[in-house]
């Protein structure tokens, strides 16, 4: 009798309710853990809030008993991006595991912005931890427009089928489109324009096959090791390079263009400074950034002499 009474109490406790963790709560937990690192910048309010581009931002995917997070952050410069992101990765993973009790399957840290902070000193005592390499960010599939087109086409077919159904049951007047179309096709015979139509159909079919198998374009570049866990956009890499180049002596202005194969830094130097000295100094200043962000790209430094300042 005592044992039975104990089982009844346990079953009653189990049936009292359930625990549900919302994606928004997990997102806020990840953001709060991210902001513990002083090298992470915060962008909020105004236009950023209207466009949903606030930083840091967390996109959460919640499975049955696992969590995956895409974390978008901004980093102050000059900070070692790999150190910051690895620190954020470890902190967020630990916070989510502690707060939710669920298995953290993946935390993707993506650098979406950089902010110049000349008073910032970069230090890191973070211990290296084993990190699961996440998938690199990629653009939307090339076949997406075709999928949308076929979606609208299927909606059109559904509309025609509904119209034919109403006409067949006498609920709607008018001529049936399907019967007229079949009758028109039955009266067709070979004509010269069908050659162009056949060629066009073959070209369109090959194009659709190509769009279906075409790999998705990578939108970010991996930073750090051979198996990167952190990515930055080409725009952010260009900003880092421009900031590093402009901080060197003799450089008046700097602009960087990052492509798949090269990083081209265009600088305007003071006419009083030697060109070879500026080139060597700029390359030396860019070395720390390129060590983690070059991604096999070739560095090119182009110089021009800044126009003299007119004093009126």
Please state the rounded mean pLDDT for residues 106-130: 61
The share of the chain scoring above pLDDT 70, in percent, equals 79
**What pLDDT does 25 receive?**
82
pLDDT tens, position by position, 183-238? 888 888 888 888 898 899 999 889 888 888 888 777 777 776 565 666 788 888 88
Q: What is the pTM of this model?
A: 0.44
**What pLDDT does 301 receive?**
92
Check whether 56 has a pLDDT greater than 60.
Answer: yes
- The H or E element that residue 157 is part of is helix 144-168
Please state the rounded mean pLDDT for residues 131-143: 66
Check whether 115 has a pLDDT greater than 80.
Answer: no
Domains and their CATH numbers in the chain? 19-116 (3.30.70.1350), 144-213 (no CATH), 234-305 (3.30.70.1350)
Check whether 163 has a pLDDT greater than 50.
Answer: yes
Q: How confident is the model at residue 18 (pLDDT cuts 50, 70, 90)?
A: low
Provide the b/e sequence for 11-43 (b: ≥16 CB within 10 Å): eeeeeeeeeeeeeeebbebbbebbeebebbbeb
**What pLDDT does 227 receive?**
59
d(CA 163, CA 172): 8
d(CA 156, CA 122): 59
Check whether 275 has a pLDDT greater than 80.
Answer: yes
Provide the b/e sequence for 184-216 (b: ≥16 CB within 10 Å): eeeeeeeeeeeeeeeeeeeeeeeeeeeeeeeee
pLDDT tens, position by position, 278-305? 899 999 989 888 888 887 889 999 999 8
d(CA 122, CA 41): 14
Q: Which of 194, 163, 197 lies closest to 178 in space, CA to CA?
A: 163
Burial class (CB in 10 A: 0-12, 13-18, 19+), 48: middle
d(CA 115, CA 79): 10
Cβ-proximal residues to 115 (8 Å cutoff; 6+ apart), any chain? 41, 74, 75, 76, 77
For the stretch 208-211, contacts whose Cβ atoms lie closer than 8 Å and that sit 24 or more positions apart, written own/partner, are: 208/143, 208/146, 211/142, 211/143, 211/146
How many beta carbons lie within 10 A of that of residue 246, not counting itself? 19
**What pLDDT does 130 receive?**
47
**What pLDDT does 255 receive?**
93
The share of the chain scoring above pLDDT 90, in percent, equals 11
């Amino acid at each position: 009798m005592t044992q039975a009474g104990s089982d009844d109490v346990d079953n009653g406790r189990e049936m009292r309710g359930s625990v549900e963790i919302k994606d928004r709560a997990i997102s806020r937990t990840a953001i709060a853990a991210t902001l513990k690192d002083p090298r992470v910048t915060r962008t909020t309010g105004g236009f950023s809030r209207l466009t949903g581009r606030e930083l840091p931002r967390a996109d959460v995917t919640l499975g049955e008993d696992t969590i995956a997070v895409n974390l978008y952050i901004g980093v102050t410069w000059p900070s070692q991006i790999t150190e910051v992101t690895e620190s954020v990765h470890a902190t967020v993973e630990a916070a989510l595991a502690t707060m939710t009790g669920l298995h953290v399957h993946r935390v993707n840290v993506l650098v979406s912005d950089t902010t110049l902070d000349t008073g910032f000193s970069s230090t890191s005592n973070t211990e290296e931890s084993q990190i699961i390499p996440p998938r690199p960010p990629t653009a939307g599939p090339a076949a997406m427009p075709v999928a949308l087109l076929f979606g609208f086409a299927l909606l059109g077919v559904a509309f025609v089928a509904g119209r034919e159904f109403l006409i067949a049951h006498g609920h709607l007047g008018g001529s049936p489109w399907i019967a007229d179309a079949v009758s028109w096709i039955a009266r067709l015979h070979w004509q010269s324009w069908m050659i162009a139509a056949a060629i066009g159909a073959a070209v369109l079919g090959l194009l659709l096959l190509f769009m279906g198998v075409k790999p998705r374009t990578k939108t970010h570049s991996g930073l750090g090791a051979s198996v990167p866990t952190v990515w930055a956009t080409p725009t952010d890499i260009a900003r880092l390079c421009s900031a590093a180049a402009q901080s060197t002596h003799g450089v008046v202005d700097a602009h960087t263009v990052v492509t798949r194969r090269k990083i081209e830094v265009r600088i305007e130097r003071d006419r009083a400074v030697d060109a070879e000295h500026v080139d060597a100094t700029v390359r030396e200043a860019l070395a720390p950034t390129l060590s983690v962000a070059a991604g096999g790209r070739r560095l090119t430094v182009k110089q021009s002499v800044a126009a003299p300042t007119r004093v009126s």
